[in-house]
Amino acid sequence: MIRLEFKSLIPKKNKSMGLKFAFAVNDTGVFEKKHFGEADKFLIYREKDNSLVLDRELKNTARDFDEEQQHGSRKKADAIINLLKSDDINVLVSMQFGKNIKVINDFFIPIIIHSDSVEDVVKIIGKQYHWISEEWEHKNSDYMLFSIKQGIMKHPLKD
């Protein structure tokens, strides 16, 4: 189990629990250069006792939803939003997002990462957790896009 200590800022929206992250990975548990909604599964990490810990895996049951009609469909976005909101997810982590990022950032903080290693991403997010938590604490929607390589950058989403 990957465990990394970091300072926790508990978000005001759910003071009893820290942030929960959905990592978009393939069947072998590695990030791929695919849109978030194309992931085979999501690794659900949560903040617990000032650490980021793996909670469970969640199969992406919406992966092929409505894709024969239109790639990046709003129906698929809604299916993924419902799947992740029902699990109290706050942050989405992927190597890429599609056009539905403009929809999902009303509900989740999107993070683009540049490593395929879950372990590396956990370490980097642990170091930058306070920025992500601050975004969640101070906003209710229209979250900024975070881009994480060695450090972290925060960008507004453009129409």
| pTM reported for the whole predicted model | 0.85
Q: In what order do the strands lie in the sheet with 152-155?
A: 51-59, 41-48, 20-25, 91-94, 109-113, 145-148, 152-155
Residues 6+ apart with CB under 8 A from 119: 2
- CA-to-CA distance for 44 and 29, rounded, in angstroms? 12
CATH architecture of 12-155: 2-Layer Sandwich (3.30)
Q: What is the pLDDT of residues 80-112, one digit of tens each?
A: 999 999 999 999 999 999 999 999 999 999 999
| Domain extents in the chain | 12-155
Burial of 62 (0-12, 13-18, 19+ CB in 10 A): buried
Q: What is the pLDDT of residues 106-151, one digit of tens each?
A: 999 999 999 999 999 999 998 889 999 999 999 999 999 999 887 7
